[in-house]
Structures are given as C-alpha cells and as structure tokens.
Amino acid sequence: MKHSFELKLKNQIKPSAILYKCYLNGTRFTYGVGLNIFPELWDEVSQRPTKKKEIIKEYKKEVPDIETRLNNLKIQIENICIGVDTFSLMPDYKMQKSI
C-alpha cells in the first residue's frame, strides 16, 4: 500500500497539521493524524521531518531537543503506516473488499 503524508497548510509560519492519504478498497482516505510540524522542518520529497542539519540548527536555539522531537515524529508516522498495513491484512477487512 502506498502511504502519502503532506502538510495541510504549507505556506505558513506556524506549525501545520500533517495529513495522511491512501487508498483503501479503492476509496481515497484522508486522515488528520493529530501531529503538527513547522513547514520549514518538513521534507516534501521524503514526506517526513527534514534531516537537513542547517535548518535543524536554527530551531535548536529555541528548542534544544528538536532532533529528538523530529525523530519521535518520524517514528509516529512510521507507526501509522504499519498500523494501516496491518489493518488492510486483517481477514475482516479482506471480506469487506469482496462485498
């Protein structure tokens, strides 16, 4: 299953909500995952928090544990992918697909 993450509002100076998108049973599914990030700290290509040291360094002055927070955010995003994949493999879900 292809998992897609994007920011709700990409051009703002305050944190933006992260949206999750995928197709379940041929239907587009969009979900606000309850996570926020500053758009500057989001990597559009990898659809994950940035790994660019120069950007992280700027935020580290105000948020000393920014690297830990970004890593935790990345783990939460990966857990969403794992959870959706697990759900889509469940027998009840497969039965619904054939109805």
Indicate if the pLDDT at residue 96 is higher than 60: no
Cα–Cα–Cα angle for 84, 72, 82, rounded to 5 degrees = 15
pLDDT of 11-35, one tens digit each? 888 999 999 999 877 888 898 999 9
What confidence score (pLDDT) does residue 25 get?
Answer: 74
The pTM for the full model equals: 0.81
pLDDT of 41-60, one tens digit each? 999 999 999 999 999 999 99
**8 Å CB contact between 23 and 95:** no
